[in-house]
Amino acid sequence: MSFASLSGTAHGRPRGARSWLLGVNPAAKLVAALVLSLGLLPAVDPVTGGVVLAVTAAVVPFSGVDRTTLLVLGGVFLLMGASTGIVNLLYGEEGAWGAFGAAVRLLAIALPGLLAAASSDPTDLADALVQRLGVPERPAMGVLAALRLAPLLADQWRTVTLARRARGLEAGRNPAAALPIFFGKVFALLVRAIRTGTLLATAMDARAFGTGPRSHARTSRWRTADTLLVVAAPLLLGAAYALSAQLGTLRLLFG
Amino acid sequence: MNPVTAASRRDGPGARVELSGWGWRHAGRAEYALRGVDLVIEPGERVLLLGASGAGKSTLLHALAGLTGPDGALTGEQEGTLLVDGRPADRSRGTAGLVAQDPESQLVMARAGDDVAFGPENLGVPREEIWARVDEALARVGFPYGRDHPTAALSGGEKQRLVIAGVLAMRPRLLLLDEPTANLDPAGARLVRDVLARLLAETRATLVLVEHRVAEVVDLVDRVVVVEPGGGVVADGAPRAVFAEHGRALAARGVWVPGLDPAPRTGRAPGGPVLVEAVGCSLRTPPSPGRGRPRTVLRDVDAAVAAGTATALTGANGAGKSTLLTALAGLAKPAAGRVLPRGPLADADPRPLARWPARRLARHVGTVFQHAEDQFVTATVRDELRFAPLRAGAGEAEADARADELLDRLRLAHLADKHPYTLSGGEKRRLSVATALSSGPAHAPDVLVLDEPTFGQDTRTWLELVELLDGLRARGRAIVLATHDTLLLEHLADVELRVADGGVAEAARTGTEGLR
């Protein structure tokens, strides 16, 4: 899901270098991220991934993502890389270099997607998916509407937690008690989520959703920069592979 | 020409509705929700649809909105005919527009303008016209923000206004309103009623309205139709005539009829020592994605809850009522300050309530949540009531005996083996109160905390609830309620704590003593 919507940044395609990425069409970002992530899957050495990671990280200051979101995401991100590195170092057969490679590879695969998601407004993303990538309306709008329910679910989870305490149900430090309580809460939340989802679906139907061809209130614009980004992604990937091969560090999965 | 009249011209004439021998049975149900409905609504008529809870009023509205049929939201079996402008109701071309109870589950998009545009988009309206319609609809409901305003940041009343704008932008000729103010606080409800009154004065659309609290909408309609559960139309005519002839019968079936409010028999509050006290509490809204950081809603607040007293928390939604209520119930820890047990309650455990183990808390402080379902933890009604005694160490026989007593007292005995989720709204409410009562000794905890307990209830459940709470108060229990219900305040509240502007102030409750 997108974090840009949470910080209320993306709409209106703001200009200026610091928020350059916000102005890029979400479909272009998605395609570029997919190319980079999938393209890096075969390479397990730190150099290939490192080049992509370095270039993608250089885009971060121009992503327009606010500092709080960056800190939270960055923290999770680094933790993910560190834990991969440590696990590979302790249990892997490739030594320190291999562990470093595994960590860099994971981060390089994850970062483009993360940036694309964090810098895209969900509404713009849905528009782009439908108008630029030809995704059918029903799933695109359905996912968009479901996204709006995420904060509601967070509230309901809290209420359900309080309600268990009110009924005298609390795990405390007992992990054996925690599991059934957790699943009880999940069930209660599921019931609420289905109910809310059904109401929302009814409301969408009542507004003639799915009765025929739709028109679009917003245009998903495609600019030269969007084309450039989509072209740049495979070029970067090619450069990374070439450099690593040149240095003799390139190692492929199953290679 | 002013824009409002221009808008009303474009609405077109109202739709004509014609039902004959119409019936609906929900999928998987043996009984019909409605059956043998014969009803004609002429273009431009404003009809209030009434009936006891479960009488299928919402079902009828949904059917008029064209939500039945093979890929509609409502599945079941239909008999007879239902025609809108001489054709079976369908969802296309936006003949009908539906506004339901809960604004939260009707907004589709993240930004206000996009949400209003959603309906016209579905109708295939060209882009330039969509935005003209959006601006016009937002103006008609007096929406105070721009198109880009995030829908998550709106209050309940503002959200419901936006929902109405979304319906108006589709230019419906049949307006269907299903308790549009039921989920709103009094200020929000007023906001929406003002918009509706203004709208109805200028539009030619036909209106069918379902509303629990009749007094508040009776001026908006010129005809009242009463339907019966599993049956058809039992009364039909001008509001005055219908209420004069059928008022008492309707009230007896739980309908809120103007001038026939329920009159609970309540006794005097015995009063008692303070049991729970909030000292210098600052309270924050819970963190919630999409609504920014937690906000401090109450700062340095003191409040006390006494035994044998009904303490009511009042104030607009978002003022911090529920947050204060969860703190007083010991469910959540205040950001600063403490909620402490006092008097006899401190004998059980002198620590702040938030640090009590859950089992002890449940025994002494019971909480009834606004959504009853949130607090159900077992698979049958009987098990819900056996749950607390069993956990407190009671034997099977004793737990059964206590469950049976509560089942009888709250008229739930015939439902003992049903799943709690399958009960009706009123039954769920009674069960949720019963579960809170089941956890304390002598069939009630020392403090009973309730969040909007009368919300959406018919007069029968309302009356039972008020008399039950009065009985608990008479036996020295402390009752704490967060509520918007003025009738409840009038009949039960001894102390009113008004939550507003980051603080809590005791409001004068003159007149309540005089009433008794």
Q: What percent of chain A has pLDDT over 90?
A: 40
Per-residue pLDDT at A5 = 39
Token digits of residue A71: 């800190």
pTM, entire model: 0.83
Contact between A166 and B367 using a beta-carbon 8 Å cutoff:
yes
Per-residue pLDDT at B9 = 47
pLDDT tens digits, one per residue of A162-218: 999 999 888 777 788 888 889 989 988 998 888 888 889 889 989 988 888 899 999
Q: Domain check: are B378 and B482 in the same one?
A: yes
Could you give the CA distance from residue A230 to residue A238 in angstroms, rounded to a whole number? 13
**In-domain check, residue B262:** no
Contact between B357 and A200 using a beta-carbon 8 Å cutoff:
no
Of B107, B122, B291, the CB nearest to A208: B122
Angle at A139 between CA A137 and CA A140, to 5 degrees: 60
CA B175 to chain centre: 21
**In-domain check, residue B261:** no
Using the predicted structure, report yes or no on whether residue B286 has a pLDDT greater than 80.
no
Contact between B387 and A167 using a beta-carbon 8 Å cutoff:
yes
What amino acid occupies position B58? S
Q: Domain check: are B200 and B280 in the same one?
A: no
Q: Domain check: are B279 and B320 in the same one?
A: yes
Q: What is the CATH number of the domain that holds B222?
A: 3.40.50.300
- Is B123 at the interface with chain A, CB within 8 A? yes
Which chain A residue shows the shortest CA-CA distance from B107? A200
Average pLDDT over residues B89-110: 83
Number of domains observed in the structure of chain B: 2
Beta carbons within 8 Å of A188's beta carbon, 6+ residues apart = A160, A163, B373, B374, B376
User: Residue B452: which domain range?
Assistant: 274-287+294-515
Q: Domain check: are B179 and B283 in the same one?
A: no
* Residue A151 binned pLDDT confidence (cut-offs 50, 70, 90): confident
Residues of B in contact with A184 (CB under 8 A): 377
* Torsion sign, CA atoms B114, B120, B122, B127: negative
DSSP B150: B
- Is A227 at the interface with chain B, CB within 8 A? no
Token digits of residue B86: 């001489």
**In-domain check, residue B505:** yes
Q: Domain check: are B353 and B431 in the same one?
A: yes
Name the one residue in this structure whose structure tokens are 């991969």: A84
Q: What mean pLDDT is reported for chain B?
A: 88
CB pairs under 8 A between A and B: 196
CA distances from B18 to A147, B23, B106 (A): 39, 13, 27
Average pLDDT over residues A7-33: 73
Instruction: Label the pairing between strands B296-306 and B274-284.
Output: antiparallel
Of A172, A208, A219, the CB nearest to B94: A208
Q: Domain check: are B278 and B248 in the same one?
A: no
Q: Which of B427, B25, B420 is nearest to B254 (CA)?
A: B427
Token digits of residue B146: 């721009």
Contact between A168 and B122 using a beta-carbon 8 Å cutoff:
no
Neighbour-count burial of A16, counting CB atoms closer than 10 A to its CB (0-12 exposed, 13-18 middle, 19+ buried): exposed
Give the residue with greater pLDDT, B30 vs B384.
B384
Highest mean pLDDT among B41-50, B178-187, B318-327: B41-50
Q: How many Cα atoms occupy the beta-carbon half-sphere of A226 within 13 Å?
A: 17
Which chain B residue shows the shortest CA-CA distance from A165? B358
Angle at B206 between CA B258 and CA B8, to 5 degrees: 110
**In-domain check, residue B245:** yes
DSSP B52: S
Q: Answer whether A127's CB lies under 8 Å from A220's CB.
A: yes
What is the distance in angstroms between the Cα of A187 and the nearest Cα belonging to chain B? 10
* Residue A12 binned pLDDT confidence (cut-offs 50, 70, 90): very low
**In-domain check, residue B206:** yes
Contact between B119 and A207 using a beta-carbon 8 Å cutoff:
yes
Angle at B201 between CA B200 and CA B207, to 5 degrees: 25
Q: Domain check: are B240 and B279 in the same one?
A: no
CA distances from B476 to B243, B265, B346, B348, B415 (A): 40, 17, 16, 17, 30
For residue B175, the tally of other CB atoms under 10 A from its CB is 25
Token digits of residue B428: 């769920």
Of A163, A168, A214, the CB nearest to B391: A168
Token digits of residue A86: 């440590």
* Residue A6 binned pLDDT confidence (cut-offs 50, 70, 90): very low
**In-domain check, residue B347:** yes
Instruction: Label the pairing between strands B223-227 and B233-237.
Output: antiparallel
In a mutagenesis test of the A interface, which of B26, B148, B375, B428 is the best target, namely the one with the most A β-carbons within 10 Å?
B375
* Residue B93 binned pLDDT confidence (cut-offs 50, 70, 90): low
Of A150, A188, A200, the CB nearest to B374: A188
Q: Domain check: are B247 and B341 in the same one?
A: no
Using the predicted structure, report yes or no on whether residue B2 has a pLDDT greater than 60.
no
Contact between A168 and B92 using a beta-carbon 8 Å cutoff:
no
**In-domain check, residue B213:** yes
State the complex-level ipTM.
0.84
* Rg, C-alpha atoms of chain A: 22
In chain A, which among 197-216 make CB contacts under 8 A with chain B? 198-216
Could you give the CA distance from residue A241 to residue A233 in angstroms, rounded to a whole number? 13
Could you give the CA distance from residue A123 to residue B330 in angstroms, rounded to a whole number? 40
Residues of A in contact with B367 (CB under 8 A): 162-163, 166
Torsion of CA B429, B431, B437, B438, to 10 degrees: -160
Extents of the domains making up chain A: 4-130+219-247, 136-206
Could you give the CA distance from residue A121 to residue A13 in angstroms, rounded to a whole number? 10
Q: Domain check: are B246 and B301 in the same one?
A: no
Q: Domain check: are B159 and B241 in the same one?
A: yes
What is the distance in angstroms between the Cα of A196 and the nearest Cα belonging to chain B? 6
3 state SS of B276? strand
pLDDT tens digits, one per residue of B153-188: 888 889 999 999 999 999 999 999 998 988 788 888
In a mutagenesis test of the A interface, which of B67, B95, B109, B376 is the best target, namely the one with the most A β-carbons within 10 Å?
B109
Q: Domain check: are B406 and B476 in the same one?
A: yes
**In-domain check, residue B264:** no
Average pLDDT over residues B61-89: 85
In a mutagenesis test of the B interface, which of A120, A130, A167 is the best target, namely the one with the most B β-carbons within 10 Å?
A167
